[in-house]
Amino acid sequence: MSDVIRFTNGYLALPDGQCVRADLYISTSTGQIISGQSSFFTSNLSPSRTIDLDGNILSPGLIDVQINGAYGIDFSELELDTEDGGEGKYIAGLEEVARRLVETGTTSFVPTIITQKEELYSKLLRLLRPRSPANAAHILGYHAEGPFLHPARRGAHSETLLMTAESAPPIATFDRVYGRDGLDQEGVKIITLAPDVRGVMGCVEELTRRGVTVSIGHSDASLEVANEAMNKGARMITHLFNAMPPIHHRDPGVIGLLGSPNQRPYFGIIVDGLHSHPNTVRIAYAACKEGCVLVTDAQSPMDPNLPDGVHDWREGIKFRKEGYKVLIEGTTTLAGSCCPLYECVSNLSKFASIPITEALLAATLRPAQLLGGEISKRKGQLREGFDADLCVVDWEGKVRSTWVGAKEVWRDGKIGQGDYLGDKPKPRKVNGNGLVNGH
């Protein structure tokens, strides 16, 4: 019996931001996208199942490179006073988030931990090695946000836990905090740091050599300092506009990297309509769209079933949820978001006045390119040999179905016999090449 599944009667999201009306073939045995020509015409393998996309868009699965938790789970919390040091409960929570995230079209994510007590890092990072739970999003590795952050730009991070890197050599401090194994382990490794903190700049080159994606964030750096960090290997800015100086016409600071004539960074941006005004999103995208990476920066309250109000968060801290806004109780300080990634895609489309298929690149192709290595060779594009991690979205960006490894793991709405994914679409204007140019 054939292991081939065919998607038809829809539009494929292309790496250039356009889309084409065409079929896509995947293999359930390899979990990858395959050539329809070789499987159907050359090997004479008829699809075992045909999925009618009903005019919707087939996209690579969404990738979130900064997510602190969701569905009541906080990736920064580890209950040490249990028999196994909290490991079993932690992994169970991590995998529960992975199973639920597919509801948002997210098929891969990088769990993010905020500034911690020094002794917790080596324990947490070991638990954040790559894993792929059944019927769930892939866990790619870790994103450690802190503790090498500037106190003046700490945001919700505890000032008492922030650190400098003044040992000799400075990288020894990173080895001690994260654990040498943590810095060398397999999988995605992102560290958000402030290069203007004492000793940190001297570590950027070595971290990059060891496979760490260095991201500038929670920093008070001038453009000159930020440029130096980029020259030493930094590749990303963490949640652009947040926890950094506002742009100034004589010293644009970290934000000024978006206008660099030579090397421009990737930048994470939370397009929830709260962290950044639509106009600033539009400015950033126009300046450096090829570097735009949508992130949720989601916290544990990202759960559609959680009511607005005050909730317990971390030890001694409560948060107040107001729609997609999460504030530290008693303050006006934003503490991450609870906006799902597909909503950020939809917002980017509206704010930047771009087609939804172009906005999808900021949650698929570009995060894969940012992470590089095997991730960029396997995820983020609808190409033969790439992982069949997919999501079906309508023209407003709502997720209708999610696939991981060529297996459908979630779907929305009334589906009938399993091949129906939505209402009849409005007609689309298609040019002579079968490409949709607008939205």
Active-site annotation holds for 412 = no
Query: In this structure, are residues 70 and 300 in contact, taking their beta carbons and an 8 Å threshold?
Result: yes
CA distance to 120, 194, 216, 347, 349, per residue, from 144 (Å) = 12, 12, 12, 27, 29
Q: Is 152 annotated as contributing to ligand binding?
A: no
Q: Is 335 among the annotated ligand-binding positions? A: yes
Q: Distance between CA 313 and CA 180 in Å, rounded?
A: 30
**Run of H or E including 373:** helix 373-378
DSSP structure string for 31-98: TEEE-HIIIIIIS----SEEEE-TT-EEEEPEEEEEE-EETTEETT----SSTTTTHHHHHHHHHHHH
Q: Which two tokens stand for residue 343?
A: 């909503």
3-state secondary structure of 107: strand
239 is in an annotated binding site: yes
From residue 184, alpha-carbon distances to 86, 206, 368, 374 in Å are 23, 11, 20, 16
DSSP symbol at 425? P
Q: Please write down the HEC assignment for all residues of 168-192.
A: CCCHHHHHHHHCHHHHHCCCEEEEE
Identity of the residue numbered 283: I
Q: What is d(CA 187, CA 230) in angstroms, rounded to the nearest whole number?
A: 22
Residue 263: helix, strand or coil by DSSP? Answer: coil
Q: Are strands 106-113 and 62-67 parallel, antiparallel or unpaired?
A: parallel
248 annotated binding-site participant:
no
Note whether 130 and 187 are within 8 A (CB).
yes
* 77 is an annotated ligand-binding site residue: no
> Is 291 marked as a binding-site residue?
no
The verdict on whether residue 311 carries a ligand-binding annotation is no
Q: Does the annotation list 218 as a binding residue?
A: yes
- Determine whether the annotation assigns residue 231 to a binding site: no
- 196, 272, 297, 389: which is the annotated catalytic residue? 297
- Positions marked catalytic: 297
Q: Which residues are annotated as a binding site for Zn(2+)?
A: 145, 218, 239
Q: Which residues are annotated as a binding site for substrate?
A: 156, 242-243, 250, 275, 334-336
Q: Which residues are annotated as a binding site?
A: 145, 156, 218, 239, 242-243, 250, 275, 334-336
